[in-house]
Amino acid sequence: MLSILLLLLVYQVTVILSSQWTSSQFPDLRGPSVNQCVAVLPRNKQQLYVCDPDHMLNNTQAMQLNIQLQELAVGTPCHCQRRSQCTTGIEGSGGKEGLHGFIVSIAIVKNLYMHMHSPSDTQLTERAEAFCRALEGRWALGDCGNSVIVFVWQHYKKMVIWPARLAEKYITMEERKAILTKVNDYAQTDDWFPALSTIIKEISNELNGPPEPRFDTGTLSLLLSVGLAVGLTLFITCCVCAFRCCGNVKTRERRKSVERAMDNLRNSVIRRGNP
């Protein structure tokens, strides 16, 4: 009886641990473990952008989202410095190799492995962002920072939009928060398909727009430093000039008083010499 209980306990622990993903265990969209991402793969595995190993979506939903993501990839402009960084490796119209712009992918998990119980919302966000950061490095879907990962953490109903360096210029923190707020009702009811479909449309609109002007704090700090240095230099120069002027005035007054004293003494001697 005791052995049976131990076996059941080990089985439950194994099931729990297997459902808690880490970034290293999670399937690779462009690696040999891609078969774990979805039950039905597209004809070309390089055109798969959805990884749902826990099968939170059904096959139809996963493929519909994948079609949206493929259309987004070829429908957004390439902002990389070299055109070769945007080639798809697939023959396009006119026999030429197809091009893509931004690569948006979706990662869905039931739960992530964590070292703590009852984490705060800040801790959940940090864990989700760390997971996305690791996936960005493993998947390497964009050659010039032109990738975005949409992450779903079903257990905590948590969603994160994680843009790479270039994509962050087109979809800012405020815009990401607004998009997630718009789909929050779907997330709270585990209705992930409309939530993700809406997110894809919103991200596509942002990525097809102009980049947001970034406030360069480094340049501002440099300008302030230079301005302060110039101001201090002018202030010190004015003070030196003022001291010199005051010193010259006092010297002239002292010289004039000495000259007057000498004149008075000379006149006195002259008067005494002429009775």
Of 141, 195, 147, 188, the closest CA to residue 167 belongs to 147
Contact 37, 27 (CB under 8 A): yes
Give pLDDT tens digits for 140-183: 888 888 999 999 999 999 999 999 999 999 999 999 999 999 99
H/E segment holding residue 217: helix 217-273
Count Cβ neighbours within 10 Å for each residue of 151-171 and write b for 16 or more, e otherwise.
bbbbebebbbbbbbebbbbbb
Strands (E), 83-234: 87-91, 97-99, 103-109, 111-112, 147-153, 158-163
Contact 171, 199 (CB under 8 A): no
- pLDDT of 13: 36
Total count of residues recorded for the chain: 275
Strands (E), the chain: 20-21, 50-51, 87-91, 97-99, 103-109, 111-112, 147-153, 158-163
Burial degree of 176 (CB within 10 A; 0-12, 13-18, 19+): buried
Q: Strand pairing of 50-51 and 147-153?
A: unpaired
| Mean pLDDT along residues 136-143 | 87
Residue 68 CB neighbours (<10 A): 21
- pLDDT of 14: 37
pLDDT greater than 60 at residue 211: yes
pLDDT greater than 90 at residue 57: yes
Residue 199 CB neighbours (<10 A): 25
Of 68, 63, 22, the closest CA to residue 43 belongs to 63
Of 21, 19, 23, the closest CA to residue 133 belongs to 23
Alpha-carbon span 6 to 65, nearest angstrom: 43
Mean pLDDT of the chain: 81
What's this model's pTM, rounded to 2 decimal places?
0.70
Give pLDDT tens digits for 245-258: 665 555 566 666 66
φ, ψ (nearest 5 deg) of residue 98: -70, 160
Burial degree of 197 (CB within 10 A; 0-12, 13-18, 19+): middle
Burial degree of 34 (CB within 10 A; 0-12, 13-18, 19+): middle
